[in-house]
Amino acid sequence: MIANELITNDIIPLRTSDTGEEALSIMHEFFVQHLPIVNDQELLGLVSENDILDHDVSEPVGSYKLSSAHARVRDGDHLYEIMRLVAESDLTAVPVVDKEGNYQGLITAGDLLNYYARTASFSEKGSIIILEMQRRDYSLAEIARITESENAIILSSFVESVSDGSLLQVTIKVNHEFMSGIMSGFERFGYKVKATFNEGAAVDTLRERYDSLINYLNV
């Protein structure tokens, strides 16, 4: 998935002559805290709600000093690059430009949530297993081999550092709701199974929270 496949054109970009008050109204309507400012086709930057509140809301946004002036992704950038920028800059929306810097559209945090909700990680039934191991012992190939030896497959995985960075927690979702054989396999090869969640309990809860969030965003 790349940026130009996630673009929404529902939110019209700001012009330099639009006031901060007008920008706030659009932000509240679409439940975002960032909007692009465009002059003709050129992206000038991304204005945040805080930027507006730091200035006179009756003044045009073209006169504002922007805290996220250079926040943008290229239309061919991968989804991971978009997620990195959203996380690093705490953005609710990301402008997309072509190689000449011309504005192509906007990707909102809601767009990203909707995309992930449609992937196998959420849509297919299964179970969640959290493993803990030394960083030097991590091998996704071996984890997959143990899983597949029990006639299951990994639908998604997530790796995070814990403690001082010497330990890793690896969260996997598998396409089986019965985990006893898979758990036995991991324990047999020395993996610590820190937690497990059955699809019926865990994923339903995640879906309820997701649905509640989407309902809130669409208020």
The helices-and-strands tally (H runs, E runs) of the chain is 8, 9
Of the pLDDT bands very low, low, confident and very high (cuts 50, 70, 90), residue 120 is low
The residue to which tokens 């054109």 are assigned: 9
Q: Class for domain 3-116, per CATH?
A: alpha beta
| pLDDT, tens only, 172-194 | 999 988 888 999 999 999 999 99
CA separation for the pair 193, 114 (Å, rounded): 30
Mean pLDDT of the chain: 89
Fold of the 120-208 domain: Alpha-Beta Plaits (3.30.70)
pLDDT mean over 135-139: 93
Of the pLDDT bands very low, low, confident and very high (cuts 50, 70, 90), residue 154 is very high
Among residues 215, 214, 1, 4, the alpha carbon closest in space to that of 109 is found at: 214
Q: How many CB atoms lie within 10 A of CB 164?
A: 6
Query: So where are the chain's domains?
Result: 3-116, 120-208
